[in-house]
Amino acid sequence: MYLGALDHFLHWLEQQGIATHSVNAEHVGAFLVGHLPHCCCSATGIQRWRTCPGVSI
């Protein structure tokens, strides 16, 4: 589950154009509060993200 959540976060960073070396607390907050509640990664056809809606860190 943890690695799945990390993969999800990395996927989101890539979508946002955020380099992993520049990640900060604001990015994490934006992911948790701004993305997860409205996650639609599973609708993009990326099968490995299909657990997105219920994922938690």
Q: Is the dihedral of CA 57, 26, 33, 48 positive or negative?
A: negative
Q: Is the dihedral of CA 2, 13, 41, 46 positive or negative?
A: negative
11/22 with CB nearer Zn ion: 11
21/38 with CB nearer Zn ion: 38
DSSP code of residue 42: G
13/39 with CB nearer Zn ion: 39
Which residues lie near Zn ion (CB under 5 A)?
39, 41, 52
Taking the complex as a whole, how short is the minimal distance between the CB of residue 47 and Zn ion, in angstroms?
Answer: 13
